[in-house]
């Protein structure tokens, strides 16, 4: 652990949906002095996300669903276009993303490739995301999709070029989705 950090107290502020924790700690500054600080961290567990790509048609599979936090922060209808994603739920990242892919999109994916890991909002959220790419085709096995329980997920097949334009136009505004789309576009540039 970090010798510059001494945790003094942890309090659970909310355990309603996930855990909101307040941590009070001493932090040793570079000049050697100790300073007491307090921060809140939202712990929702780690997750995984995947971009499905059809190299023959150069299309991608994205989803659209209602996201309350975006709605209360200015997204007029609350609908967000994103890559398939979900929490790990005590699975390893590969198992979790295969399950989420089938639940959300209906595609049954066998070969996936991990491309990186990232903390998406490290100032307040503990979550680490595992990012994957996978190929699909018109022959890929497909089941129902659309999500489970209260989820109402629309599955979209979009040309990669159009998806990239949608980022510039603000129609795709989800960070994980932008990262995977740009990663795929950069990979394609490297192979030209």
The yes-or-no verdict on residue 192 having pLDDT over 70 is no
Query: Residue 24 has what pLDDT?
Result: 97
DSSP 3-state assignment of 22? strand
The yes-or-no verdict on residue 5 having pLDDT over 90 is yes
Q: How confident is the model at residue 191 (pLDDT cuts 50, 70, 90)?
A: confident
Backbone angles phi, psi at 30, to 5 degrees: -60, -30
* Cα–Cα dist 162/190, whole Å: 20
* Cα–Cα dist 120/117, whole Å: 9
Task: Give the chain's radius of gyration (CA, Å).
Answer: 19
**HSE-up of residue 29 (Cα within 13 Å, Cβ side):** 6
Query: pTM for the complete prediction?
Result: 0.92
Query: Residue 151 has what pLDDT?
Result: 77
* Cα–Cα dist 153/83, whole Å: 11
* Cα–Cα dist 73/173, whole Å: 12
Is 86:97 a contact under the CB 8 Å cutoff?
Answer: yes
* Those residues with Cβ within 8 angstroms of residue 178's Cβ, 6 or more apart along the chain or in another chain: 167, 172
Closest CA to 34 of 52, 9, 8: 8
């Amino acid at each position: 652990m970090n010798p510059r950090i001494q945790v003094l107290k942890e309090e659970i502020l909310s355990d309603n949906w996930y855990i909101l924790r307040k941590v009070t700690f001493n932090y040793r500054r570079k000049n050697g002095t100790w300073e007491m600080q307090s921060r809140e961290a939202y712990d929702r567990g780690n997750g995984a996300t995947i971009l499905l790509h059809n190299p023959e048609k150069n299309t991608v599979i994205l989803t659209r669903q209602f996201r309350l936090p975006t709605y209360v922060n200015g997204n007029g209808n609350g609908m967000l276009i994103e890559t398939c994603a979900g929490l790990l739920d005590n699975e390893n990242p590969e198992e979790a993303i295969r399950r989420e892919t089938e639940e959300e999109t209906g595609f049954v994916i066998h070969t996936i490739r991990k491309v990186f890991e990232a903390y998406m909002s490290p100032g307040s959220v503990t979550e680490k995301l595992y990012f994957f790419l996978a190929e699909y085709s018109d022959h890929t096995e497909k089941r129902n999709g659309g999500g489970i329980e209260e989820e109402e997920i629309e599955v979209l097949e979009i040309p990669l070029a159009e998806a990239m334009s949608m980022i510039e136009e603000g129609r795709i505004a989800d960070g994980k989705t932008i990262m995977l789309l740009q990663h795929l576009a950069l990979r394609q540039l490297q192979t030209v």
